[in-house]
């Protein structure tokens, strides 16, 4: 078996592209970043409440390669992003009132 490592890749993505498609993973279930619904099963392709089609996933636990590996194994179809990166820019955008919330 080859040696596979979890390596983070920097990417330039519009938050408006991420937010409606982001699954925020907790330890036993996940939340929808779009409508804040909680308790979503990890294997859900769409949000049971708002119907968001998930494309991205992030872990609530930051900087944990072990957690990233666990989520990666659960959902290899989703793009794994760093929660801190998302949260940081989300807060900045909210301050500027981009989403008006
Ligand atoms: Zn939702």
What does pTM read for this prediction? Answer: 0.84
Report the alpha-carbon distance of residue 62 to residue 85 in Å, rounded: 10
Backbone angles phi, psi at 78, to 5 degrees: -100, 155
Distance 4 CA to ligand 1 centre (A): 33
Residue-wise pLDDT tens for the chain (101 aa)? 678 888 888 999 998 999 999 999 998 999 999 999 999 999 999 999 999 999 999 998 766 788 899 999 999 999 999 988 888 777 777 777 655 44
Distance 54 CA to ligand 1 centre (A): 9
| Ion ligand 1 neighbours, Cβ < 5 Å | 32, 34-35, 37, 47, 49-50, 52
Distance 23 CA to ligand 1 centre (A): 9
């Amino acid at each position: 078996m080859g040696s596979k490592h979890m390596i983070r890749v920097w990417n330039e993505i519009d938050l408006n592209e991420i937010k409606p498609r982001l699954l925020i993973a907790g330890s036993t279930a996940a939340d929808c970043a779009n409508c804040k619904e909680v308790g979503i099963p990890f294997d859900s392709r769409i949000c049971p409440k708002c119907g968001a089609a998930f494309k991205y996933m992030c872990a609530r636990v930051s900087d944990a390669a072990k957690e990233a590996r666990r989520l990666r194994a659960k959902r290899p179809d989703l793009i794994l992003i760093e929660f801190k990166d998302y949260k940081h820019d989300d807060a900045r955008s909210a301050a500027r009132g981009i989403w008006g919330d």
